Amino acid sequence: MTFLFILDPLETLKPEKDSSIAMMRELQRRGHEVWTCTPRALDWESGAVCAESAHRIALPDGMGGASWFSVRETRARALAEFDAVLMRKDPPFDLEYLYATHLLEAAVRAPRPARVFNDPCALRDHNEKLAITEFTEFIPPTRVSSDPARILRFREEQERIVIKPLDGMGGAGVFRVEPGDPNTNAILETVTRLGTRTVMAQRFLPEIAQGDKRILLIGGVPAPFSLARIPKPGEARGNLAAGGTGRAQPLSARDRQIAERVGPVLAGRGLLLVGLDVIGDFLTEINVTSPTCFVEIEAQTGFSVASMFVEELERRVGIPSAPALRKRD
C-alpha cells in the first residue's frame, strides 16, 4: 500500500530524532511504499488535488546524515491514489500552512476522497496553545490577550509567568517574566507587537525542573511512556530544540487521567496523533501538527511508538493488523 507524507524538505529532517522518519521506516518495514512532498507541491485543478513532484523514497537501514533516504521515482500523483496522506509539516502555522489545510480539505471532500491524517479541519480548529482552553480542569492559571497591561496585571497576580506566541514551536519566542525584572515592559511590548498580537500567559510552574512531559496519544490511546524534556541549567524551557534533555518515563496516574479525558475527545474529531505537554500535574499545550519524541522513547525504553502508530494507521485504512510488535529487542 502507498502512503504520502507532506512535510518539510527531506534534507532538513534529522534522522537521529525525527518522528516522521520513524513512521516512514516502520511503514517500509511492513512492506508499504513511502512517498513524500512539501506543501508547496499541492495543486488543485478541476476538483482534484494532486501532489506535483511527489517522491517515492527508500530508507536504507542504519543510514543517517544526508544518506538516510534515496529517491526512486518522482511524478505527479492525485492524493486520492494514496491509501493515506499524512500531514506532518512543522509549524509555524502561517497563512501557507492554512492554505494547505484548505487544499487537503478539498481533497477529503472530493468525489474520489483522500484519507488525510490528521484531519485538516481539526488541524485548523485546534491551535496548539489555545486548544487547552477546552479542558480548563487540567490547565494552570492562564490568560490570553494582546493587551500588555492585562498581561502585566496577570503577572502581578501570579508573580512568575511564562509568555508564548500562539503560532510557534520548539520554545521559540517564549519568555519567563518575574517580579522586578526591568525588562518586563519591553518583553510585553515585543511579544504582543505593541498590543497587536495575541499571546498566551501562564503561571510559571517550578515542576518544569522535572521536565516538560510529552504524552503521545494515538487514536485517543496514550503510549505507555512520556518523554520528560528537562531544561538545561539556567533555562526555563524544556524543549529539545532549546537544549533540553529527554528522559523517558512511565505515565503517572495524573498523566493517565489527563490523557483518558482528552484523548477520546480529540480522536473523535479526526486527530489520529496528538502530543500533550504536561508540566507537573498541568496540561500546558496540545500539539496536533507534527508531534514528536518517537525516537527518544524507543531508544530509552524499547517501546516502538512508531509501531503503535502504524498499527492504528493500518487499521484506519482497512489493513488487517499483524501481531503487535511494539517492544523492540
pLDDT digits (tens, 9 = 90+) for 4-40: 999 999 999 999 999 999 999 999 999 999 999 999 9
Query: 29 with 40, same domain?
Result: yes
CB atoms near residue 256 (< 10 Å): 15
Residue 237: active-site member: yes
Q: Contact 41/52 with Cβ under 8 angstroms? A: yes
Among 243, 242, 97, 244, smallest CA distance to 170 is for: 242
Q: Are residues 7 and 78 in the same domain?
A: yes
Domain boundary among 204, 221, 250: 204
| Overall domain count for the chain | 3
CATH code at position 247: 3.30.470.20
Distance CA 302, CA 33 (A): 25
Residue of 18, 26, 128, 277 marked catalytic: 277
Domain that holds residue 266: 207-303
Which of 88, 213, 287, 314 is an active site residue? 287
* Average pLDDT of the chain, as a whole number: 92
Burial (CB < 10 A; 0-12, 13-18, 19+), residue 196, is exposed
The pLDDT of residue 93:
86
Same domain (yes/no): 294, 226: yes
Give the domain-ending residue among 204, 227, 257: 204
pLDDT band at 226 (very low <50, low <70, confident <90, very high): very high
Residues 108, 14 within the same domain: yes
Q: Is residue 314 part of a domain?
A: no
Contact (Cβ atoms closer than 8 angstroms) between residue 51 and residue 37: yes
Q: Is residue 280 part of a domain?
A: yes
Q: Is 239 a catalytic residue?
A: no
Q: What is the CATH number of the domain that holds 149?
A: 3.30.1490.20
CATH number at residue 106: 3.40.50.20
Q: Are residues 182 and 248 in the same domain?
A: no
List phi, psi (to 5°) of 182: -70, -15
Q: Is 164 a catalytic residue?
A: yes
**Residue 229: active-site member:** yes
Average pLDDT over residues 294-309: 98
pLDDT at residue number 325:
52
Instruction: Note whether 85 and 151 are same-domain residues.
Output: no
Structural domain contains residue 57: yes
- Spatial separation of the C-alpha atoms in residues 17 and 209, rounded to whole Å: 23
Q: Are residues 48 and 94 in the same domain?
A: yes
Residue-wise pLDDT for 256-295, tens only, equals 999 999 999 999 999 999 999 999 999 999 999 999 999 9
Q: What is the pTM of this model?
A: 0.92
Cα–Cα separations (whole angstroms), residue 75 to 52, 56, 81, 253: 7, 9, 13, 49
